[in-house]
Structure 1
Amino acid sequence: MKSKIPSIPLLSSRSSCFTTLKSLMASSLTETLTLTVTQTHHSNSQQDDLDDVLCSDRQLQEQREESASDTSPFGLGSPSRCLAGESRVERAWAHWAKLGQPKLIVAPMVDNSELPFRMLCRKYGAEAAYTPMLHSRIFTENEKYRSQEFTTCTEDRPLFVQFCANDPEILLEAARRVEPFCDYVDINFGCPQRIARRGYYGAFLMDNLPLVKSLVQKLALNLHVPVSCKIRVFPDLQDTINYARMLEDAGCSLLAVHGRTRDEKDGKKFRADWEAIRAVKNAVGIPVLANGNIRHMDDVQDCLEKTGADGVLSAESLLENPALFAGYRAAESVVGSEGNDKEGKLDQTDLLVDYLKFCERYPVPWRMIRSHVHKMVGDWFRVHPDVREDLNSQSKLTFEFLYNMVDQLRERGIRIPLYVKDTHEERVPADGLASRNV
């Protein structure tokens, strides 16, 4: 039977912001039949046999009939249930088209792609965004974690909610809590950090492909929103292609490919392999997003052309310049350019003020705010280290202190502008979201 999920109350009339925790924690979710398939690869005939098995189950047939009038964007239950491979691909593209086929996307960043930052990036051209990576087990067990780490609002769409996991049942429980409020539930198979090795998730599941496949299938067979996956590439290109095809066969409806291997952690030291992303795009039928080497809009255009990807993700560059997708460039990326850049109307203190206003509207932990302050005005701090030291000495931050800090930086008389090409000026309205025709 279809789960009944309670509506989520507004945090306040001012914010129109949803929280997932308090109303969901008391809800009891109806158990549904699941099938775990452990093979790491299927031929076309084997996949058709799997579809027949799923469709022959009486309970699944009843659920399918019950869902005939389902109004969820993804229709009858899930992309994998009772559909052959070609039909699943068609459904994946139909969903992507319904979202407007966003090309400019905020990547998932732990503690850094929270709601206020997503809304700031959306104001300046981002067309979709990922949440920070959420730990599926902690998310299911800890009320405080849920309430602080996942918030969203009506304007925060399209939205990918990303989880790390190594247990299909726990992942499904976490995913069911957020599926009414997102457009994809994403599985993190790309985190290369030491904590992911210790916790056995992210890119370290690349050594256990049967588990990877079971995680994807568990969600694909039981959610009413599509499943997406974010991966890194293998050192061997054919291994990467086989990996991508396996994920597609398991029910993945969108694949984001970071063009670096698990060992290539330093984005400034290792260039992302766009050719590998192009090979994945040519090997699968579902939408593919490219991640890596996106510093400004020229990189966006080059990446889309060279990879054939359906969109791009940016992470570190957005932290320093959240107006990247509106055509603004940091000073360091102007060096060596063709000379047709000019100082824009924005600088990073303007972006910081915008961010702080979003934080007042959509509260988040102060550790996240502190991190963004350092990223956004780091260039100013290098010129005025005493202001940075004053910030670091604050054991407890307040908005009043941060606004005063911005005023203090501006009063020093040194401006560090963002730059634009002539064709990008005036793209962002003063009080609204950026145009999507970037």
Structure 2
Amino acid sequence: MPLRRLAPHLPSPRRFLRSLNPSPAMSPAADAAHLATAADPDEDLCSSAAESAAAAAEEVAPARPLPRPPVSAEERIERAWSHWRRLGAPRLMVAPMVDNSELPFRMLCRRYGADAAYTPMLHSRIFSENEKYRSMEFTTCKEDRPLFVQFCANDPDILLQAAKMVEPYCDYVDINFGCPQRIARRGNYGAFLMDNLPLVKSLVQNLSANLHVPVSVKIRIFPRLEDTLAYAKMLEEAGASLVAVHGRTRDEKDGKKFRADWDAIKAVKDALRVPVLANGNIRHMEDVNNCLEHTGADGVLSAETLLENPALFAGFRTKEWKDDGDENGDSGLDQADLVIEYLKLCEQYPVPWRMVRSHVHKMLGDWFRVHPEVREELNKQNKLTFEWLHDMVLRLKELGGRVPLYRKESALQTTANGVAASNA
């Protein structure tokens, strides 16, 4: 499974991308958080430069021909569904997560039932200007499909330039209209573009008219349902071939405090003619089935729960969501096992150490609460190595206090409409 890094792609690859930006400019201060800091070891790839270059050299552009952009609304709707079905109508998806839905994690989730995945949110301007950012933040491989590549943006031309670079390597170019964080407010993107709907429309229209790969969008809901429906219809009319709806408003950032509004997602699904995905309240496979039945959505996205339990879509659940007194028993799999799998994937598909560190903390959170001294040792490591991380996991296992994952067989049954809830 050869690794694909974007920077060296197409004929005379490095010369091609450098010609787009002969001398990359420094980003404004508002964008500093999106750029790697060379002095920080966590920003280094978790592999040698030679290994990364060797893997990148194996990159080849996909051979399949791309269709011409559609010329009418009806043709676009027809093509939206045709494309979705050609991908296998994926239903279980890894949501876009900044620094957390990178290639090794996507591949781990795919091993455990995920049908498709989003990349982390990529900053379109920095992506189009900075070769190092492209090479560090976007990697893929042949098996990493179907794939959504997500960008944040507020300039239609810059977004198109970035999207053109990735369209041969993905199945959708996605626009982030849902990020509610302060960095999105400062950068004027994500959910804060809900205050500028003409700009939102122009971003979608420009991509739809100039890309061969379909355009998808990920949105949050407005406080008023009628505003949400008008927003979703505008996006479809502008050229979105798929709409993913996070059922919370821009101000409802805490997923544990605010329940996602599945009724609003259902209303969007009923109002649109393109595929619609549901995001919110997905903690285990029963939630998946209930969400699909309640909303009628064509698939679901999970984010935070997958970080703790990448095996969610294969029917595994953490102790927090274990049903006492039913057939839900110790599966024999635990999060430490998943960390070992993840580390091996990172050795195969190098990513910045900061991403590795973050996933280890998320997946071993329950273990670290039992053995906080091991977590402190991890936090003290200025420079990580695979050897040290493997030894740390081994030490946790030797210390005891295992935290198993549980599996409920009924959660793996088919959904109400007859589509398998897990392909594991």
1:72–1:225 CA contact under 8 A, matched in 2: no
Q: CA deviation at 1:378?
A: 0.6
Q: CA deviation at 1:413?
A: 2.3
> In the alignment, what sits opposite 2:2?
16
Pick the aligned partner of 2:300 from 304, 312, 334. Answer: 312
Q: CA deviation at 1:86?
A: 2.3
> In the alignment, what sits opposite 1:213?
201
The CA distance in 2 between the partners of 1:29 and 1:307, in whole Å, is 46
One-letter amino acid matched to 2:65: S
Deviation by residue 1:257-276 (Cα, 9 ceiling, x = unmatched): 00000000000000000000
The CA distance in 1 between the partners of 2:131 and 2:237, in whole Å, is 35
Deviation by residue 1:259-298 (Cα, 9 ceiling, x = unmatched): 0000000000000000000000000100000000000000
CA spacing shift, 1:298–1:338, aligned 2, 3 Å: farther
The CA distance in 2 between the partners of 1:140 and 1:29, in whole Å, is 10
The CA distance in 2 between the partners of 1:292 and 1:183, in whole Å, is 23
Q: CA deviation at 1:20?
A: 0.6
One-letter amino acid matched to 2:350: P
The CA distance in 2 between the partners of 1:422 and 1:168, in whole Å, is 47
> In the alignment, what sits opposite 1:126?
114
Q: CA deviation at 1:71?
A: 5.2
1:234–1:262 CA contact under 8 A, matched in 2: yes
Pick the aligned partner of 1:27 from 13, 16, 21. Answer: 16
Pick the aligned partner of 1:420 from 386, 400, 407. Answer: 407
3-state SS in 2 of match to 1:387: helix
Q: How does 1:195-344 map to 2 (within 5 A)?
A: 195-335=183-323, 339-344=326-331
Q: How does 1:81-92 map to 2 (within 5 A)?
A: 82-83=71-72, 85-92=73-80
Q: CA deviation at 1:27?
A: 2.5
Pick the aligned partner of 1:72 from 65, 72, 86. Answer: 65
The CA distance in 2 between the partners of 1:403 and 1:28, in whole Å, is 37
Ranges in structure 2 where 5+ consecutive residues have no aligned partner: 21-62, 413-419
3-state SS in 2 of match to 1:375: helix
One-letter amino acid matched to 1:405: M
The answer as to 2:146 corresponding to 1:153 is no
> In the alignment, what sits opposite 1:403?
390
Q: CA deviation at 1:180?
A: 0.3
The CA distance in 2 between the partners of 1:269 and 1:311, in whole Å, is 24
1:342–1:422 CA contact under 8 A, matched in 2: no
> In the alignment, what sits opposite 1:48?
none
> In the alignment, what sits opposite 2:40?
none
Deviation by residue 1:91-138 (Cα, 9 ceiling, x = unmatched): 100000000000000000000000000000000100000000000000
> In the alignment, what sits opposite 1:381?
368
2:368–2:374 CA contact under 8 A, matched in 1: yes
One-letter amino acid matched to 2:126: I
One-letter amino acid matched to 1:408: R
TM-score where L is the length of structure 1: 0.82
Pick the aligned partner of 1:350 from 312, 315, 337. Answer: 337
Larger deviation, residues 16-25 vs 227-236:
16-25
Ranges in structure 1 where 5+ consecutive residues have no aligned partner: 1-14, 32-69, 426-433
The answer as to 2:170 corresponding to 1:182 is yes
One-letter amino acid matched to 1:422: E
> In the alignment, what sits opposite 1:165?
153
Pick the aligned partner of 2:377 from 372, 376, 390. Answer: 390
1:22–1:143 CA contact under 8 A, matched in 2: no
Deviation by residue 1:196-235 (Cα, 9 ceiling, x = unmatched): 0000000000010110000001100001100000000000
CA spacing shift, 1:20–1:93, aligned 2, 3 Å: same
Q: CA deviation at 1:158?
A: 0.1
1:118–1:129 CA contact under 8 A, matched in 2: yes
The CA distance in 2 between the partners of 1:421 and 1:320, in whole Å, is 18
Q: CA deviation at 1:181?
A: 0.2
Deviation by residue 1:350-387 (Cα, 9 ceiling, x = unmatched): 00000000000000000000000000001000000111
Q: CA deviation at 1:334?
A: 1.0
3-state SS in 2 of match to 1:109: coil
CA spacing shift, 1:28–1:376, aligned 2, 3 Å: closer
Q: CA deviation at 1:412?
A: 1.1
| CA-based RMSD | 2.0
TM-score where L is the length of structure 2: 0.85
Deviation by residue 1:143-192 (Cα, 9 ceiling, x = unmatched): 11100000000000000000000000000000000000000000000000
2:154–2:203 CA contact under 8 A, matched in 1: yes
Larger Rg: 1
3-state SS in 2 of match to 1:152: strand
Larger deviation, residues 408-417 vs 323-332:
408-417
Aligned residue pairs: how many?
Answer: 372
